[in-house]
Structure 1
Amino acid sequence: MEEKNNKKYAGQVIDIPRAKSRLSFTDRLQRMTEEEGEPFLNIFSQRSIYLVSLFDFEKGSSLIANIPVGDMPLIVKRTDCAEEAMFRLSSEELAVSDDVGATETQTEISPAFQPLRMGKLAGKAPGDMLLESLNKQAIVATLTSQMEFLKQRVRQYPKNQADITAISTALECFQLGILEDCKPDESQAAVQTPKEKNYIIYKTPVKHQKKIIDGMHPCYSVLITCTPTKEYPYRVELMNCYAPLGELKSGMKPVLMEQAKDIRKDKIDLTEAEWVRVVDCLKSNLEAARQVWYPALRTQDAKNRWNGNAS
């Protein structure tokens, strides 16, 4: 009998599937206990984490990392700030568009020179790529491939149409030999080109696990960023490796990355809606667990309080 998903993926809070990979977040929350010695009203044990896993279907392997629950408030706050930045950017773009339409003397910039928002070509204008490249045929092939990829997903992601229009216009102008004439001057480009800022939502140093394998500790790091101008603005990057630990006079044991082995890295880009849903699910799950455990832990905490009226 085939195992049901609610058993196979027990503990999973949310996952984001892709054709070749899957990003998932698993609940590894633990309630505070007497043995840990911390206040019961902290609710969560210091060992409470969300386990992040990025599985590669082709390789059949995962990269994993831990996000302590204590880091969640910062992730939520920075996500809110990134969302505000994206909202402002979209509002500014609409304002600029209205100003351009209302000003007769303003020359409209060809879509061929509008920066792309998707994939490895994000931030680059297809017109500039064609004009600046020494290997025109290779750039034509790259742009054509990207355009076909975007067309396949335009129903699911309507904003792809802007990149499709930019690429098709650039290719048409290039074939007609008029691409150079369509290039905007510097003053026009300064008005139209969006500023590509990169916001750090969450970043860890390289951390190590306690277990040792052949004198090496499994290590990991997490980097979550947001680039508001991109179609997939959020990026989750994971790194796994094995490395020995040093020892400082202070007692700290830093990871010696210069001696690290089997370094593996991978990343996944998420839409705005996907990342907001991830954060909402993790936050809601945390609050639900808090509500379940709070009554019993408050009762235990009350027993430990000093009672001045006791005889």
Structure 2
Amino acid sequence: MTDSAPLATALASLPGARRIAPPRLSADGVASVILDVTGLDATARDALETEVRGRLAMVPGVREVRLVQTAEKAERRLIAVASGKGGVGKSTLSANLAIALRRLGHRTGLVDADIYGPSQPRLMAAEGEKPMAHDKQLLPIMTRYGVPMLSMGQLVAPEKALAWRGPMASGALGQLVDARWDETDILVVDLPPGTGDVQLSMIQKHRPAGAVIVSTPQDLALIDAARAIDLFNTAGIPILGLVENMAGYVCPHCGEVSDPFGRGGAEAEAARLGIPFLGRVPLDIAIRRASDAGEPPAAGDDTAAAPFLAIAEKVAAGLNLRRS
């Protein structure tokens, strides 16, 4: 770290200076500052941020300004997105669900609780961004899609293996969920596949308001999805519904639809178990390409966004959410 005194001097005469934590300047010229925006409306928050950024940018040696807004903790509800097995598109569904809920007017955050295989930084175009901490709490980074996010993938090197036992993984989950989420009303939590320690810690310590289960249509995936549903049912966590992912492949050349994983299996399973069916997401190469590029389809206005927005509307209705 270098001398941060010039940063404090630049902000000292700013109206609202009491809302600004002591800024820091790193050796590579990055100025980090935390604003307490409790009680401010959007216009006042934006005005304060603009003024702070402008003043810090004029300080000699400042190459970049990183700013985080915080506020008093608001009551929020957690949505657990789970699957009985990996490879069914749970993380892609989580990212797009969070964005779709945000587009529907709900103040939504995203927790990448897939400790051993975090993929949200890539999906949300936030690779390389590191969260700051304040009063021993992590501060989520704000993605370009208006959804704040925390992921273990932001805290460790991409190529580093996390050979952690259950208690360490559960502790990491606690740090992500108990971060400074401020005015966020909803947290979408992307859980790892299966029914292990992280899922049990989530249920026992953080008590989700509901669970969304993701499966492909094939029987093998549905067997494992039923186990995940049973875990949440046993713990008394409401099942918001089942999503059928990779439901039909649309040929990009002729438009013909085929069903390599079958069709309708998740809807039939939902009916058998007496839980809501939230909808289908096709096996579409456009979704895969957009996800790899950090451009979740739910953020766009084309047909690829439609299934995610429809699922988000049903999830919001299941939780009786009102738009902010």
TM-score, normalization: structure 1?
A: 0.20
Q: Which has the larger radius of gyration?
A: 1
Higher relative contact order (CA 8 A, sep 6+): 2
TM-score, normalization: structure 2?
A: 0.20
